[in-house]
A and B are shown apart, each in its own frame.
Chain A
Amino acid sequence: MTTAHVGHATSRVDGRLKVTGAADYAADHDPPGVAHATVVRSTVASGRIVEIDDSAAAGAPGVITVLTHHTAPRPHARARAHSAQVDPTVTHRLRPLQDDRVRYQGQPIALVVAETLEAAVHAATLLRVTYAAGVATTDITRAQPVLPTPKQTDKGERQPAVSQRGDPEGALAAAPIRVEQTYVIPRENHNPIELHATVAAWDGDRLTLWDKTQWVANVADEIAAELGMPADHVRVLSPFVGGAFGSGLRVWPHVMLAALGARAAGRPVKLMLSRRDMYYGTGFRPHTVQRVALGADRDGHLGAIVHEAVQETSMYEEYDESVVDATRYLHSCPNVATRRRIARLNEHTPTWMRAPGEASGAFALECAMDELAIALRLDPVELRLRNEPAQDEFKRLPFSSRSTRECYRVAAERFGWGRRTPEPRSMRDGRWLVGWGMATATYPTHRAPAAARVRLLPDGCAEVATAASDMGPGTWTSLTQVAAEALGLPIEHVQLRLGDSALPRTPPHGGSMTMASVGSAVQAACHEVCRAALARGGGDDLAAAMARIGQPVEATVKVRAGEETTRFSMHAFGSVFVEVAVDPDLGETRVRRIVGAYGAGRIVNPKTSRSQCVGGMIGGIGMALMEHSVVDPRTGRVVNANLAEYTVPVHADSPPLMDVTFIDERDPHVNSLGVKGLGEIAIVGVASAIANAIHHATGKRIRELPITPDKLL
């Protein structure tokens, strides 16, 4: 598709700000008189605070105030409970410093505000806290799984916890070929390199928050509701977000603490969490235990799938993600049972982390498919081709588009899959064992209501404003491209504003739905402002019309999904192929090559899109080989709450060859731009493809992530 801007490999419009250090992230803001705050956290996982002696801390040099549950401001009488799309449906929100109860290890129990960061951090060590420790459940292997509470407001976005079609157990028992296994993924933390931070400044009864968030509108709503303020009295700014991967979707307690601290101190407060704080305060991908049973005939046609998952959640909220949901539609099968359950622990609530649900579920399902292919002595790509569905068999709707076959073909060809010898340990490079593995990837195409404002100026420039965020995918650039295209302007003539709750409202910057939602809104607002300008100025030349009008013309448009969601099942699909080399003596795995092909609708910017996809692959390497928040089951403490002991991929772990292909996919149904989103699907399937490649290399099937050397020796 040839267009003026959309589809072009435009360099980031915010690139210059980012390479010069001029892009301003939350903690880069220093309102006059700003004080510094630090959080003190509980050292027990359950119980009550019997006594909290803050005299030494409050008296320490430079300390302005110490807030505890005795001294923290109480919410206004008009305070009201708040719950949004990103929050668990069942929630008894943690309100920091409002009572003496301790619900989890690392819960905020005090805030120290001081003249300098050094004084605050030191004073935080001077608090004397006595607890009456209660009984805590901190070991997931001992928690009793339960079904999540049925959703009261299910509008089709969220899926039921239990599904069944056909007779899965009967078909499984009758199947000539069966595999049944359990797969485990430990807790993983997002670990964006930007530390979560909030700078809070009060001006009378109005509050400004510079906050690291993926959803400025919801931060304003939640803080205003919880403090009993009108929503427009809270302004939230977040034009640049230093990564988040889901950790910035909800409003965590530290945001409220910054607001309360600033109120109590009578001056602006900067609260930047420590790396360790983030393991106790900004969510994580939940530990999951999954059972997958597959039954097939001798030709490799799936006859039965049973997929059950248990995931951890907190004592005060039911976080329940879509771990088994892709199994309902990914491969064709007449008899399918899926079930999600939760296990309640004394911990803070897990949250959305890159491809929440699908990344975990695909690890289990796509490893099981590999095990089935081996049992059938069938090529794993061929097994998937034999089970390619004609429609979404769960929703009983046609797919709006589905390019899986093309993804398998293109990625296999670029990878050289035809040269693979199927026997484990049959491919070597010197002393290294070489393995090739693959997996299917999928993620739903979401969309939510979004608004944008476009203002045309007489000089031929345009200002585009929307509250969306850009945590790294390139939203600044892609939205500018969409606007330039719709207005017929050079890209330099479009000025974009993002990340401000005073701008037209957008949905959360997550779930791979920003382009589908906000991109559609920007496009519609551009079309509307052109129509208005031509109607006023006459003729069919926009520049001439604007010159005649001689003053700005503005349009604000809000768009939402139409009835296409009831007619089609909408998803992005892909496939990922991996080559690993395993050291047979040391058990070390090196990922040498990753080749991915994606049918993700229209690609607005192939340059930033490639970055998103290789980034997802790197995230998948971390998930497969490294990442594990190690929880001490006795205390609920995370024993490796830092970036030296919670290992993530570094430069040296980056495969020498990463190859990304986008299938030319035109989907007229998903949205007016034809985009499906990329951020999530890029990580889905990567860990399974690596696990499958490791089996091929070594003959060892590791079903518990991460696949560290000890598991291969």
Chain B
Amino acid sequence: MSDERGPEQPGVDPAGREPLGGSAASSGAGVANAVGPRDAPVVAHATDRAVAPISVLLRVNGAEHRVRLDPRTTLVDALREHLHLTGTKKGCALGQCGACTVLLDGKRVNACLVLAALAGGREITTVEGLAQGGRLHPLQAAFIERDALQCGYCTPGQIMAGVACIAEGHAGSAEEIREWMSGNVCRCGAYDHIVAAIQDIAAARPPDRGP
């Protein structure tokens, strides 16, 4: 019934863990179902075996956290539900809205499309990691100054994407920013001000310097 079942990834099975269960065929069906939403009732690939938790080392904002996770856990859920870093927001769980944007080894990703197990050991930066010792990152300050937010829910994702957009060298003009920021939906419609905030900082910071 639900479309948001965690996608199964047989390739990440650590030693000693139980298989995810079901036959190879049903496992394949699970992956196909997980590609996108659909309305047909899902034929369950039933398993009555426990999904053995796996141990993952998550390096977030410079700190290391060893967590035991259901292997189906996505990075956004690991951050929010296991590390209680709730600044990263969930808006669709399908990679369609950008609210969960974080930096993975310096590159922006939708954390809902990354299995937490696959982020193990890699450098994760979330919105909580931007401010340094209470001093806001310049783009955070620019968002406040430009009123580049309303409800604030897409804001962490917009800021993380904006930081990456500048670092990538994709913030050369308002038009270029609009193109490269289009994976981050703002339903309140603060686009105008978000672009202005990114332009403010891009003008002051050369690209490729990272966050």
Number of A-B residue pairs, CB cutoff 8 Å, is 236
Q: What's the least CB distance linking B88 to chain A, in Å? A: 7
A397 to chain B, nearest CB (A): 34
Q: Is A654 an interface residue (CB 8 A)?
A: yes
* Cross-chain contact B188 with A243 (CB below 8 angstroms): yes
B178–A648 CB distance below 8 A: no
A651 within 8 A of B: yes
Q: Confirm or deny: B1 has a beta carbon within 8 angstroms of a beta carbon on chain A.
A: yes
A527: interface (CB < 8 Å): no
Instruction: Kindly report which residue of chain B lies nearest to residue A18, judged by CB atoms.
Output: B152
Q: Are B3 and A651 in contact (CB under 8 A)?
A: no
- Knowing A20-B140, A59-B48, A608-B147, say if A651 contacts B92 (CB, 8 Å): no
Q: Do B86 and A21 touch (CB < 8 A)? A: yes
Q: A121-B6, A126-B44, A652-B178 given as contacts; is B96 within 8 A of A14 (CB)? A: no
Q: Decide: A41 and B1 in contact? CB cutoff 8 A.
A: yes
Docked-complex contact B192 and A242, CB < 8 angstroms: no
Please tell me if the beta carbons of B86 and A24 are within 8 angstroms of each other in the complex: yes
A264, CB-defined interface residue at 8 Å:
no
Partner of B1, one of A14, A127, A651, A656: A127
Majority-rule SS of B interface residues:
loop
| Contacts known (A21-B126, A194-B89); A643 close to B1, Cβ less than 8 A | no
B residues in contact with A472, CB < 8 Å: 150-152, 188
The answer to whether A611 and B37 have CB atoms under 8 Å apart is no
With A30-B81, A125-B2, A654-B191: A643-B97 Cβ-Cβ less than 8 Å:
yes
Query: Which residues of A have CB within 8 Å of B85?
Result: 21
Give residues of chain A (549-594) contacting chain B, Cβ–Cβ below 8 Å: none
Partner of A117, one of B77, B126, B174: B77
C-alpha gap A658/B84 in the complex (Å):
38
Other-chain contact of B151, A242, A639, A641, A651 (Cβ < 8 Å): A242
Selected from B70, B91, B179, B188, the residue in CB contact (under 8 A) with A652 is B179
Residues of B within 8 A of A16 (CB): 136, 144
A118 touches B72 (CB 8 A): yes
In whole Å, how far is B141's beta carbon from the nearest beta carbon of chain A? 8
Give Cα distance in the complex from A195 to B3, angstroms. 15
Q: Check if A80 is an interface residue, CB within 8 A of chain B.
A: no
Interface residue from B36, B86, B144, B154 paired with A193 (Cβ < 8 Å): B154
Establish whether residues A611 and B150, one from each chain, have CB atoms under 8 Å apart when the complex forms: yes
A648-B185 contact, Cβ under 8 Å, with A15-B144, A23-B152, A61-B50: yes
Interface size of B in residues (CB-CB distance below 8 Å): 79
Given A125-B2, A643-B97, A652-B178: A60 and B189 within 8 A (CB)?
Answer: no
Chain B contacts with A in 112-126, Cβ cutoff 8 A: 126
Closest to A641 in B: B37
The 5 closest A-B pairs by CB, nearest first: A21-B87, A242-B153, A618-B189, A18-B152, A472-B151
Apart from A125-B42, A472-B150, A654-B191, list 20 A-B contacts with CB within 8 A: A16-B144, A18-B149, A19-B143, A20-B128, A20-B130, A21-B86, A30-B84, A56-B46, A118-B77, A122-B5, A122-B72, A125-B5, A275-B94, A474-B150, A611-B147, A614-B190, A643-B94, A643-B96, A644-B36, A654-B178
Binding site for A on B (CB under 8 A): 1-6, 36-37, 39, 41-42, 44, 46-51, 70, 72-73, 77, 80-81, 84-94, 96-97, 99, 126-128, 130-131, 136, 140-141, 143-145, 147, 149-156, 159, 174-175, 177-179, 181-195
Residues of A near any B CB (own CB < 8 A): 11-12, 14-25, 27-28, 30, 36, 38, 40-41, 43, 56, 59-62, 116-119, 121-122, 124-127, 190-195, 240-245, 272, 274-276, 471-474, 607-608, 610-612, 614-619, 637, 639, 641-644, 648-652, 654, 656, 658
